[in-house]
Structure 1
Amino acid sequence: MFGSTPPPQSEDTPFHPRSPYGLFACNGVLFNHESPRRGENFVTRKITRAVGRIKVGLQTKVFLGNLTAARDWGFAGDYVEAMWLMLQQDQPGDYVVATEESHTVEEFLQAAFGYAGLDWKDHVVVDKKYFRPAEVDSLKGDSSKARRELKWKPKVSFQQLVEMMVDNDIELANKEKVLVDAGYRDPKQQP
């Protein structure tokens, strides 16, 4: 592992690999991979969390930035499968993992609020402080190599992803409401 460096080797020994064995490294460029586990500071989860809380009466508004920003959002579980497939190949390679679809934040809002039977325009406030100074307008991946060589393609559609996240966050909001109604949590406290 340390190549031609004489023993004894330690953490301070220069690393000069000379062995062709054991190093199988792939590079996966994963476009936005979402799930109910996504952190609430990411716009997708911020939206679905707000949908759940609005649906059960714990909040009325959500504050967002650029609604025209477009992203290639896919389900994290599909992307984990792509990573696993990369590691099953005879030779390591570099792969882009993406849905090859791009949707705006506004489209995400329409899908999420609409699925919950709400009109996003009644609840969304655009606030300049949430605009990023170096915002990338649009991201859309080309996963043709992964599709061709790994025989991979996403299984969960954009709408299914949104519904999965909204269902999860409505369930969380219902649990939160129980605590609020019982007086164990301040209703104005954000999650």
Structure 2
Amino acid sequence: MESSQHSVNLVLLKKLAIIALVMFGFAWALVPMYRVICEATGLNQIAVADAAPMQAGAAGAQIEMTFDSMVQAGLPWRVRPLTSHLKVKTGEFIRVDYEITNASDRRMVGQAVPRYLPAAAGEYVKKLDCFCFKQQSFEPGQTKRFPVVFVVDPKMPRDISTITLAYSIFEVPGQGGL
């Protein structure tokens, strides 16, 4: 009886070891698989390469741009663009500054997520520098200014004459106490 129980346990141990190895292999392969998927679909990439040819005399159509922001409900931050409205030309480099204040009495970390109206305009706004590229840490009461540097691609369809670039700011949970 003990011998049969021992062989059953040995078979179970082998199965569990194989499952653990397969899980480890899958987890190890996720990073390269993610990279391949992102390259194939264009996800999680910053399109900066297209901006360089635009700077030399490629300016074209005039676009009305509005800048806005919103903060996650309950997040004690004040976020505002220092310029709310601009007329820009496609192909020209533009800089707009945003001011963010942590109005709380504790250290907080946040992340900005851009959104565009109309949504189709998003693929034609090429950001070169943006506070949305990484998480931002603020001490209690701290105010910071951040540039957003971008160019509107001259290939943008002519039927898009106005663009709203707005940022939604969210707290990054578990990061404030670092």
Q: TM-score normalised by the shorter chain: which range applies?
A: under 0.3
TM-score by length of 2: 0.21
TM-score by length of 1: 0.20
Instruction: Answer 1 or 2: higher relative contact order, Cα 8 Å, separation at least 6.
Output: 1
Rg larger in structure: 2
Comparing both structures, which one devotes a greater share of its residues to helix?
Answer: 1
Comparing both structures, which one devotes a greater share of its residues to strand?
Answer: 2
